[in-house]
Structure 1
């Protein structure tokens, strides 16, 4: 109900903003036409005005329909179709690619602006929607997110016959009249979900629109203000950091040692503190995650500075709180079981750069879209499916993360813009990786769906064979023909036409006729039926085996043996010779010759080999073996089955294969017809297949655990604040 309310409000508000867009589009395009430098350019704008007026309702309807479809898909999971390749003329290929590139660049820029401005509010909507729906969503797939809205509008405008220059102007209007209203829109959506009781405790300080990135001088002023405990000019940031600071003050002495300084101790300036941290950054050992203590090394530098100046130099209280907070955050990160150990060591080397950016910019703690915070989260997210390897340095992901860390250590002094640059590069890399993995993952799902259909068809064929053969004694060649050859004809018919089709019924009838033709019959009319049946039966068998591409040599051998069986059947059904008829002259009339039966062979052939079918027939797909299902019966409310039933498509899990080896994989699909859970690695390749009961068995032996795919920094901050509150209450 709450989801429907959010959807309906979204539709109303989006419709209103779209109407504002179209109401102002004429004026904008007319002004552009007025400023045109040529008749052709002017005509292009006038044509665009006319086209937009004609297609306004269609674009609006298509856009809103796509938003509705995105909401509908939240509670659905369907195995999609294989991606289709667009057909394009080679003559126009370059032009099409350039236009699409400009559209993509414009779309990415619009999305980035909204995420920078309203990322926190959108993140809360995403978290709340995840609590309502079965399909895991992210900010980029949120129906209310800027990417989905922009892509929906882009698709709705496909029908416009305008050149790219005009289309980009329409996109700017979409940004001006629709995207700029999303902050109020998100606030209302969050409030609606809170009132419906969806994660009401998920709160944050009000997010205000941030100015452009500060210059070096303004950053210095902010850092100095923070060191002295002054305001930064953003009440929301101060509120968040102030709450954390208050908790740190209250647990000082229990969470970390209370420091006692001489009365004449001099706090180092923020500029000097940054220099000290930069020195430590440049001389960071290769493995700081094991035994490196940032506070101890910083205190040693301060002691040297104190000895040189003759006065005790200490870290100011606000900066000291930031150091303690970042230290606790990285303690959580380095203890997190979700991160692979090798990558923990790399991420651990980011502690000093993260501390420096936190000292420069307190929005680091409150703004989910902060570039440094996002970089850390994106690295952790990409590392979720990474598996330890013997030669880690050859892994492209490991190598890319290592490059990011090394760039930070080498180049970051006091300009946080490097985080935005590294974030953009890393997102470009992971975007390419994700697209490749999604394509392979989709192919995996398609293949598994095909396997599921084939498995169901095999079950149908097994049922049909067992229904007719189980418990009977028949010639061995017929049992073998049905099991090895005709089963393929039945399988093909089931897959192509279904079990309700005339083709399937005809294949079953052929099987029934074959069985009847080789059984013993006493009824007088059996002979006539056999004579009538055999020619059509043989034709149906030949046609069916040919359609299934069965081996011609084996087919010929089967028919040779079948012919012998039918000859014997005819002989068994030979009519008894009638008694001689006495003629009028007293002689005896001989009975008529049976010309329609084959002659007796010179040597009587032996009886056919008979077999009794006492075990159920089980068909196995080529290249596969039957894997026995775990013999275990559990109640539906058993903890293990509850765990399995709560797994969502997209969830990452870790299997403990043995004492040394672990397998990290993602649930890519649940094939409902067969009940199979299909897992893939981070490249999208299938690595595991389990049944519901098989997963429950793994859970009961503690060999499977769910990996927390929530944002790493957010989890760390939540954990630290939770620990501080517990210490405060102790």
Structure 2
């Protein structure tokens, strides 16, 4: 179904209605969760076996109550975005599978959360399997017949779990406390979704989507025997309304059948019209009608292909040779040509083993089509050359697949079709030419080698290999996600630490400024008490108004007042009267705030006491003389406040002076979501680098990018990145790329029709 303004508007209306329904139901469930969290945490606090645990639970309750609004806001925003993004090719789905996951790079705490969420999602999905299956199929109609994965279902269990994980970042809680929050989310939200999905499904049904659908668990079907090649090429796929409701892949396959039929017809016309040879330069005319009397049986063609598959490889270029070639050289520019020559040689080798005059026309055209598909693979600019070299080794086995089962071209769920799509897609992101062992390349090579060694006519081998490869890919994705999360946390932690230091330093400096504080005390405040204020800022909610912060500030003021020079006998007398109480108060503050830093209290108190005695015992005229002697002298001790916010101020001033095109790029940059991939090429001599926007610093204005493995790649200031976007040195990579096989077929049809 071709999308039109009317169908798009109707789709939006249907999704909006579902969104409102889901939002209403979730708001009620989330409200119950928060209401019950109060009772749960109070019970945990009552049963706590230590005062520390009791305090932890009570603090957790306070944090949850205080941040409830932010949690709800983030949760509904992220969950709601699943509706607005649905069917939009500008966004890529993030795949969260439940297969075995390697957790060696995750901390124990992170692993606990990850495993808990996976279990919750699986349980919720199983509890609503029938409704979710029907929703998935009905939504596929709104998605132009494209198959909907579990993680793509708007407000599906995986979507809601991701939304809550994002929202839970608003809660700064101890690990045990956070696990309780997730448990509550599971108990009062995820496990209660079945009625919501029932209404969700009914809303889609009311909109007229697959009214006769009967949901059944889909079983993988065995490969059908190939039908008549001629009928496959020329058949028109007309479906009744009832037939169009038989599953979420029906429309996709119908479109694929039509595309395949068009291509086969074009190839047949080209052959009969004598307009050229096949894609290998050797097959033209081989099956243009001569085979009708005594055509080659399929078994002979398959046997001939099998001999090529298991013969010594045709000479060509291997991945290890490619990585050794210097970019920019003539040899490097000829890499694709060399690989193309290898494909042609393999097809020529095939035709030397059979009587080409007896080759059925449709089989000749299929062989041509597979050759053109792999030629298209060589032209894919997103694929590294080493990946092209490895995937091209599948050329001969895929000739055999296409002869055995032409559904390979049209059925998205065909295991060989799906495997090729998956390998090509993974290679664009996870193959690193500078280190072939680093990413997914070893797994791609292992899959290719097993196909070459083991594939005879056992199509089920591809299902097995797809499962194995997906597990390897999921492990890699999980590792990269864990590394990226650590990278992001490290950057955010560094910024938060810097902010805490700045805030603490300003608090101390504002109390020192304009006063004659002994150098030893200034140093103590800049070391010991700066650390204490930093830790209070980092640990305490509303740190600047917390009891610990107020105690620390009062103690700093007490210390400064008690050691600064006395300019009159009256002030000395006042100090003498107040000093006993002050000393006790300062000493007690050291004890009370011991958890926030240094524990060498005795030495610090002794140092303070010595300077207090100096202020008492030294004659006033001598103290006055010292002040007069130092008047006008520059401050020897550096300011406690570092020049921390200067960059931000300068950036803000510069932003006002940006040229219009850079200002426009800066505004565009603000709208780009985290997780967006960029191609960066700072100069024409550099290879483009594929990096992902992972984090933005509101303090410094820095944008941090990571590579595919989640490792920090580079950092740019907002202005620098805006300039690169404006000049074309940085560009956003378009998401929602069409799977490889379909892209190849569309491109081949375009070539054959001369478009």
TM-score (norm 1): 0.61
Among 395, 417, 431, the alignment partner of 1:373 is 417
Aligned 8 A contact 1:630 1:697 in 2:
no
Change (3 A) 1:342 1:147: farther
Tell me which residue corresponds to 1:238.
257
Name the structure 2 match of 1:278: 306
Structure 2: stretches of 5+ with no match in the other structure? 1-8, 26-74, 86-107, 163-182, 239-252, 319-335, 624-628
Partner Cα distance (1:647, 1:230) in 2: 46
2:694–2:705 contact (8 Å) kept in structure 1:
yes
What residue number does 2:149 align with?
139
Q: How does 1:90-109 map to 2 (within 5 A)?
A: none
Gaps (5+ residues) in structure 1? Answer: 17-66, 89-95, 128-137, 161-166, 192-207, 576-596, 598-605
Alignment match, 1:717: 742
Pair 1:6-2:21 in alignment: no
1:560 pairs, out of 607, 629, 640, with 607
Matches within 5 A, 1:293-692: 293-303=342-352, 305-306=354-355, 312-313=357-358, 316=361, 318-386=362-430, 388=432, 392=436, 394-395=437-438, 397-439=440-482, 441-468=484-511, 474-497=517-540, 498-517=543-562, 519=564, 522=567, 526-531=571-576, 534-535=579-580, 543-544=589-590, 546-550=594-598, 552=600, 556=603, 560=607, 563-564=610-611, 567-568=614-615, 571-573=618-620, 612=635, 617=640, 633=655, 634=658, 638=662, 640-641=665-666, 644-645=669-670, 647-653=672-678, 665-670=691-696, 677-682=703-708, 684=710, 690-692=716-718
Aligned equivalent of 2:5: none
> Is the contact between residue 505 and residue 526 of structure 2 (CA under 8 Å) also seen in structure 1?
no
- The verdict on how the C-alpha distance between 1:293 and 1:531 changes in structure 2, with shifts beyond 3 A counting, is same
SS at match of 1:492: helix
Query: CA offset at residue 115 of structure 1?
Result: 12
The answer on whether the counterparts of 1:381 and 1:709 sit within 8 Å (CA) in structure 2 is no
* C-alpha separation in 2, matches of 1:457 and 1:713: 48
Alignment of 1:165-176 (within 5 A): none
Q: Could you tell me how far apart the structure 2 residues matched to 1:251 and 1:667 are? A: 48
Larger displacement relative to structure 2 (454-463 or 612-621): 612-621
- In structure 1, the residue matched to 2:3 is none
Provide closer, same or farther for how the CA distance between residues 158 and 612 of structure 1 changes in structure 2, counting only shifts above 3 A.
closer
- Contact 2:432/2:439 (8 A) holds in 1: no
Q: 1:222 — aligned with what?
A: 227
Q: Counterpart in 1 of 2:68?
A: none
Measured against aligned partners, the alpha-carbon deviations of 1:334-354 in whole angstroms (never above 9, x if no partner) come to 333433333332222223334
Q: Contact (CA 8 Å) 1:437, 1:683: kept in 2 or not?
A: yes
Question: 1:518-570, CA deviations, whole angstroms, 9 ceiling, x for partnerless residues?
Answer: 555657754354445655555565534744332629x7368537733761466
* Alpha carbons 1:636, 1:642 under 8 Å: kept: no
Larger Rg: 1
Q: Please tell me whether the aligned partners of residues 473 and 610 of structure 1 are also in contact (alpha carbons under 8 angstroms).
A: no
Separation in structure 2 between the aligned mates of residue 562 and residue 636 of structure 1, nearest angstrom: 62
Secondary structure class of the residue paired with 1:612 = coil
Which of structures 1 and 2 has the larger relative contact order (alpha carbons within 8 angstroms, sep 6+)? 1
TM-score (norm 2): 0.59
Distance between the aligned counterparts of 1:111 and 1:424, measured in 2? 26
Distance 1:213 1:303 in 2: 35
Kept in 2: contact 1:377–1:712 (CA 8 A): no
Query: In 1, distance between residues paired with 2:636 and 2:284?
Result: 86
* 8 Å Cα contact 1:641/1:692 also seen in 2: yes
**Residue 312 of structure 1 aligns to a residue in which SS?**
helix
> In the superposition, relative to structure 1, how do residues 653 and 347 fare at CA in structure 2: closer, same or farther (>3 Å)?
farther
- In 2, the alpha carbon distance for the partners of 1:368 and 1:264 equals 31
Match among 79, 82, 100 for residue 71 of structure 1: 79
Contact 2:665 2:723 in 1 (8 A): yes
For the aligned residue pairs, the C-alpha RMSD in angstroms reads 6.2
Name the count of aligned residue pairs.
Answer: 590
Residue 486 (structure 1) shift: 1.9
Give yes or no for the alignment of 1:213 onto 2:221: yes
Correspondence 1:9-158 to 2 at 5 A: 9=18, 71-72=79-80, 74=82, 83=110, 85=112, 139-144=149-154, 148=158
Matched with 1:35 is none
The answer as to whether partners of 2:528 and 2:597 remain within 8 angstroms in 1 is no
For the residue of structure 2 that corresponds to 1:368, the secondary structure is: coil
